[in-house]
């Protein structure tokens, strides 16, 4: 018998199937967005004035992106995909002209170390904006983020802080091969950032059905693009979507590993198609630079840090090509002991393994980082989509954040709703944002979920960005606590997982008293990074008191106002099916 989650997914799927499954960039957000004076300190600007100027969030005509509402659901069923989520097709005419111009110049030689075609490029001039991570030099190689960093995405017309642009992130002139996983794509925009003439690319995409996958591959061949491959992680059976987001940017001497909350679309990276409009959507991104291993050979995975081992395992489960995995193993992971790779692998998982997934992967990460043995913990979770959550789900999340496994013998945490705050925008916050309601398509909560008597409504806080008027596509979990020995700690999760069982996995106690299988509908991945111990020096904490949010300064820029306002009778932003 289908669960209530499945029933609601089906309803959403049917609603989505009645919409166009692909939108051009100019269609994705219409000319009805609100204009907000970012220099104004007043909150009650005249409505007519604010709506007088029409915005067009993206004006790259001909670029194709996935229906934003599919991302909002974050677990679309197969019936929702009249055309697959992901890339919608290629401009064959334009690409055929490019292909003819290159006809006698192409040679393919797939390798994770060199692109199959490389044209000389002007070396990078100037340095990207630095922040808490200072560049280091290893045998003449400049590693800007040798220990990893979490950045806020750039937003047009907003002051620069500890943020990063997509160009600063990619460092395209130094990239030979790029493996990019995303749920939504803007093909033309991405190719303007990473030209396939110069950079070999593998796009890891969410496409269900072998016939559809083969059509995509054929479209790619017909377009004649050089250096381009498509890869499709398993999305059969109960798996709804490949929602994970990551990049492997191979250079001659370094590998940049990236885990963003953003899709590969212009709007998610804060860019716009004109000179006057501000950005309207913010995200966050983790990145780390690894040097090539001194021995120059494929390393042994058993000698990697837990971060490296879980990354390799995740890539293997996604059926990534061996030469890509071997390429990753040629880099030095020795400086990744302070971070953990967390994953959700789609499907049913009946037994515990050495590589637990879903919330169990978070549990393992907390243990690997020595952040378990917890006496008290406070959680602040910002997400762009909420599922049919209840106290049982909150219990499982809180246990995982403590490094504890959910079992039949585990006692319930008392007053579970008191220690968890979930940041999600109210209806008014979305309507008053720079982009207005038309930018809210990838922010999702259904009335059925929210109105359920088991939904923890008192945990919700209004997501109000510290950049006035910005909406959020972030998935960030902040944890602050005290260990049983009294020592304070804090860590942050950044990744693709929203607050839902689709993302983290659902697991129930069977009638015979044993644990049922862990059922995960989405592929997800993320990073846990701990706050350095020196940040707690000098803190005057009372008995049982946890560190303040200020301890995250220097580790991650908290992008929303915290503590957030309680709803107090206001309504959340609800999913609009059409």
Q: Any bridge partners for residue 95, and if so which?
A: none
Task: Look up 473 and say whether it is catalytic.
Answer: yes
Task: Look up 231 and say whether it is catalytic.
Answer: no
CA triple 390-391-393, angle to 5 deg: 70
Q: How many CA atoms lie within 13 A of 415 on its CB side?
A: 5
CA triple 80-86-91, angle to 5 deg: 120
Q: Which residues contact 255 (CB under 8 A, 6 or more apart)?
A: 248, 249, 289, 290, 292, 327, 328, 331
Q: Which is nearest to 273 in space by CA: 57, 532, 465?
A: 57
Alpha-carbon gap, residue 200 to 460, rounded angstroms: 44
> Phi/psi of residue 426, each to 5°?
-75, 165
Which one from 240, 243, 343, 349 is the annotated catalytic residue? 243
- Helix, strand, or coil (residue 524): strand
Is 475 annotated in a binding site? The answer is yes
Which one from 33, 343, 355, 473 is the annotated catalytic residue? 473
Is 300 annotated in a binding site? The answer is no
Q: Which is nearest to 493 in space by CA: 479, 483, 507, 481?
A: 479
Alpha-carbon gap, residue 447 to 443, rounded angstroms: 13
CA triple 526-344-12, angle to 5 deg: 105
Q: Any bridge partners for residue 286, and if so which?
A: 150, 259
Active site residues: 243, 473
Binding site as annotated, residues for substrate: 245, 475
């Amino acid at each position: 018998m289908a669960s209530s989650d499945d029933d609601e997914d089906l309803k959403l799927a049917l609603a989505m199937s009645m919409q166009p499954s692909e939108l051009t960039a100019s269609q994705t957000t219409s000319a009805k967005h609100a204009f907000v004076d970012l220099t104004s300190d007043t909150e009650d600007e005249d409505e007519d004035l604010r709506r007088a100027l029409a915005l067009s969030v993206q004006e790259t005509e001909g670029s194709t992106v996935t229906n934003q509402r599919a991302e909002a659901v974050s677990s679309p069923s197969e019936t929702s995909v009249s055309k697959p989520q992901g890339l919608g097709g290629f401009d064959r005419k334009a690409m055929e002209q490019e292909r003819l111009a290159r006809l006698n110049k192409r040679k393919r030689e797939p390798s994770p170390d060199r692109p199959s075609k490389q044209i000389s490029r002007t070396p990078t001039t100037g340095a990207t904006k630095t922040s808490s991570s200072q560049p280091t030099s290893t045998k003449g190689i400049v590693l800007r983020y040798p220990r990893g960093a979490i950045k806020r995405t750039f937003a047009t017309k907003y002051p620069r802080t500890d943020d990063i642009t997509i160009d600063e992130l990619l460092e395209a002139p130094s990239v030979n091969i790029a493996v990019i996983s995303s749920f939504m794509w803007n093909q033309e925009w991405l190719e303007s950032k990473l030209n396939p003439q110069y950079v070999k690319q593998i796009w890891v995409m969410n496409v269900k059905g072998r016939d559809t996958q083969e059509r995509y591959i054929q479209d790619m061949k017909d377009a004649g693009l050089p250096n381009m491959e498509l890869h499709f992680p398993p999305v059969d059976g109960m798996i709804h979507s490949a929602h994970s987001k990551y990049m492997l940017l191979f250079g001659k001497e370094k590998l940049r590993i990236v885990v963003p909350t953003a899709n590969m679309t212009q709007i998610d990276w804060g860019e716009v198609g004109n000179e006057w409009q501000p950005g309207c959507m913010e995200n966050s991104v983790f990145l780390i630079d690894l040097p090539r291993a001194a021995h120059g050979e494929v390393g042994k995975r058993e000698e990697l840090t837990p971060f490296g081992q879980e990354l390799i395992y995740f890539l293997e489960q996604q059926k990534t090509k061996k030469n890509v995995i071997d390429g990753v193993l040629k880099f030095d992971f020795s400086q990744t002991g302070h971070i953990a790779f967390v994953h959700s692998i789609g499907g049913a998982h009946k037994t515990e393994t050495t590589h637990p997934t879903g919330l169990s992967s978070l549990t393992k990460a907390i243990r690997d980082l020595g952040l378990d043995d917890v006496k008290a913990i406070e959680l602040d979770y910002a997400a762009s989509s909420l599922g049919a959550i209840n106290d049982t789900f909150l219990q499982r999340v809180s246990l995982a954040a403590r490094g504890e496994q959910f079992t039949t013998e585990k006692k319930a945490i008392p007053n579970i709703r008191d220690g968890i705050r979930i940041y999600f925008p109210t209806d008014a916050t979305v309507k008053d944002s720079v982009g207005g309601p038309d930018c809210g398509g990838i922010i999702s909560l259904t009335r059925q979920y929210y109105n359920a008597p088991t939904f923890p409504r008192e945990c919700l806080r209004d997501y109000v960005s510290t950049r006035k008027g910005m909406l959020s596509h972030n998935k960030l979990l902040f944890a602050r606590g005290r260990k049983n020995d009294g020592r304070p700690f804090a860590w942050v999760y950044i990744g693709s997982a929203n607050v839902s069982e689709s993302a983290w996995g659902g697991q129930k106690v069977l009638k015979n008293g044993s644990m049922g299988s862990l059922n995960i509908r989405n592929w997800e991945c993320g990073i846990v990074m701990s706050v350095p111990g020196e940040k707690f020096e000098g803190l005057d904490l009372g008995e049982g008191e946890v560190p303040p949010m200020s301890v995250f300064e220097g580790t991650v820029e908290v992008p929303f106002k915290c503590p957030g306002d309680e709803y107090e009778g206001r309504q959340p932003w609800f999913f609009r099916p059409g």
